[in-house]
Structure formats: structure tokens, C-alpha cells
Amino acid sequence: MKAVYTELHRSHDPQFFLVRGIVKRTTEQPERADRLLAGLKAGKHRLVEPTSFGQGPRARIHSPEYLAFLAEAWDAWSALGDAGPEMIANVHPVRHTATYPTHIVGRLGWHTADTGCPIGPGTFAAACAATDVATTAAQLVMDGEDAVYALCRPPGHHAFRDVAGGFCFLNNSAIAAAHLRLKHERVAILDVDVHHGNGTQGIFYERPDVFTVSIHADPAAYYPYVWGYAHERGAGPGLGANLNIPLSIGTGDDGYMQAMDAARRAIEAFAPTALVVALGLDASEHDPLRGLAVTTPGFRRIGQALARIGLPTVLVQEGGYLSDILGANLTSVLAGFEEAR
Ligand code: ZN
């Protein structure tokens, strides 16, 4: 399988975030990509450099003021003179009769959902490079490849149209789906990250042309807490085009495969002609964010199940954090996919 990758992700190297009131080293580190690359090498996948698509694919999904904020954020923050080495908001407007702010501290609060998305000097460049990786993979599939993997970093599925969150800034999976829509009338996104794909759900919530499905740890007990429940089914013209399958904390391979079956049936009923997989690997039993307990052979079964959906597929890397098994889990899921095609 072709795998799209660029070294440009390295400019985003967040140092810390705030979780449960504790300042911690961010788990979304450049070394993740090195371990994933090792997994690609073990699977003998062919690396492809991304094409630069400019702002167009990003602007299909994200608002002009949000893209301008991300582009200007670091310079405006640095000019404050008394601010920290990374941008983390200290205001979060809840937007009830609120006014879009002009001050960088206000804009930072407006455009970030949580304290898990620190912005540094190279964040926007890396996030833009990741959207090129995702768009290139989508383009390769539109040009006739059966399936292509996109090694995106930073990840994207927690980013809404104009809000960053949970290590994510630009929604790579949504951007890949919107690019596929240039050719395909109906596209499905299946999110297998351990966290609910809240940003992706939000972006397409009222759209009938992109079916969003997410299998994730129960948000009653796990991030992002306020999205990801089974009763969230879409709205307006998009009613019925969103499916959430929350799983109990600690669910293992067999429970996960039951959810995959339900997801496949729902996708088949929607009848799309292309698929984006938001490929988090943090459902692993060894992931430091421990939510579910999928084994390495379990990831192979997930790859097989994804392949059996039978659609041209773009696999976009989402979460999956530093553990000794991270690379092996990527090798396993892609091997499963290829052997079931
Ligand atoms: Zn995740």
C-alpha cells in the first residue's frame, strides 16, 4: 500500500498540556511518527511525498477566521511579551451572545475547546502539511489506487470547523472526505480512534452526503465527555447520517469486532462509494491513554473488517501514543486490510 508522509510534521513539537489540573508532557510527540514509520517499513509499504494543494482543501472544511487565527497566532502571541512558550487559553467563551474578539488571548480561547492543543511556532506549518498528506492520499485513491494510508501528524478528528481540541488543529479526515466528494456523491468516515471523533461529527452533523461513524470509549467516562453518545444521530438534512457506537471502558477484541459489524452494516445501508478511515491506534491495550483493550492480532481483524467494507479507502492516521507496540499495531492493521482485499 502507498503511504503518504512528510518530515514537515516535526515543526510541531508541543511540550506540555494541562490535564486534570496537572501540567504534563504532551503525549502527541514527533516520536509517534518515527514509530509509525517503523511500522510502515516492517510492512514494506511504499512512502510517497505529499503534493501541496494550497489552502483550498482546508478552506472547504474550516472557517476563514479560524485559518487566519492559526496563521497569525504565534506572531501575535510572541508580541504580547509576557506570555509562555506555548499558547494555551485562559478564557473559553461559551458563545452565548458573545462577540468575536480581536485580542490574541480572546481569539485563542474562542478557537480552542480545551487545554490539550498547545500552539507553538511550528504548529500551523505542521498542521497544513498534514492536510496535504491527507489530501494527497485522497487524490491517489480518486486516481485509481484501491487504498492509501496517510501518516498525518498532528491528528485531526477533534478539530471542528473553527475550534481546535485534543491535540488536533485541522481535521485531516474531514478534509480527505471533502476532497473525495469532488468525485463521489456519498462518502463515509469510519472513526476507530479510542476517542469519539467529535470534530468530524460536528463538521458534517447537518450534511446528508457524508456519513460519520465513530466507535470509541464511552464518553460518560472518557474524553471528550460531551459528545459521542448514541443518541447523537445528526440534525436537519443530516439526521440519520451520524452513528456513535460507545463501548465500555476496557472492551477487548471481541466486543470491538461486534461494533465493527454494526458499523459495516450501517455504512452499507448508506451506500457510499468511498471510505475514509480515521485510523486511531489508541484503542490498544498498551496505549498510555488506556480506554479500550484491543490486542495486536485484534488490529489485524480490524484491518480485515475495514477491507471487507469493500470501498476505495483512505486511511488517515489519528491518535495512538507512545508505546512499544504502536508501530506493530500499524503493521498489523494494514496487513489485515491487504490480506482481506
Ligand atoms: Zn484518540
pLDDT digit string (tens) for 304-326? 999 999 999 999 999 999 999 99
- The pLDDT of residue 93 is above 80: no
Q: Which domain, by its residues, includes 321? A: 2-12+26-50+130-340
CA distance 172 to 320: 15
Share of the chain above pLDDT 70, in %: 100
pLDDT tens track for 256-278: 999 999 999 999 999 999 999 99
CA distance 189 to 192: 10
In the reported structure, the alpha carbon of residue 148 is separated from the centroid of ligand 1 by a whole-number distance in angstroms of: 21
Q: Is residue 249 one of the residues assigned to a domain?
A: yes
In the reported structure, the alpha carbon of residue 206 is separated from the centroid of ligand 1 by a whole-number distance in angstroms of: 24
Residues labelled as active-site residues: 158
For position 17, what pLDDT does the model report? Answer: 85
CATH number of the domain at 268, please: 3.40.800.20
3-class SS string, 295-340: CHHHHHHHHHHHHHCCCCEEEEECCCCCCCCHHHHHHHHHHHHHHC
Q: Is residue 55 one of the residues assigned to a domain?
A: no
pLDDT range class, residue 115, cuts 50, 70, 90: very high
In the reported structure, the alpha carbon of residue 47 is separated from the centroid of ligand 1 by a whole-number distance in angstroms of: 24
Q: Is residue 118 one of the residues assigned to a domain?
A: no
For position 301, what pLDDT does the model report? Answer: 98
116-120 average pLDDT score: 94
Comparison of pLDDT for 13 and 91, the residue scoring more: 13
In the reported structure, the alpha carbon of residue 28 is separated from the centroid of ligand 1 by a whole-number distance in angstroms of: 10
In the reported structure, the alpha carbon of residue 188 is separated from the centroid of ligand 1 by a whole-number distance in angstroms of: 19
Q: How many domains is the chain partitioned into structurally? A: 1
Q: Is residue 305 one of the residues assigned to a domain?
A: yes
Question: Residues with Cβ within 5 Å of ion ligand 1?
Answer: 193, 195, 280, 282, 319
Q: Is residue 94 one of the residues assigned to a domain?
A: no
pLDDT range class, residue 91, cuts 50, 70, 90: confident
pTM above 0.85, yes or no: yes
99-109 average pLDDT score: 95
2-20 average pLDDT score: 93
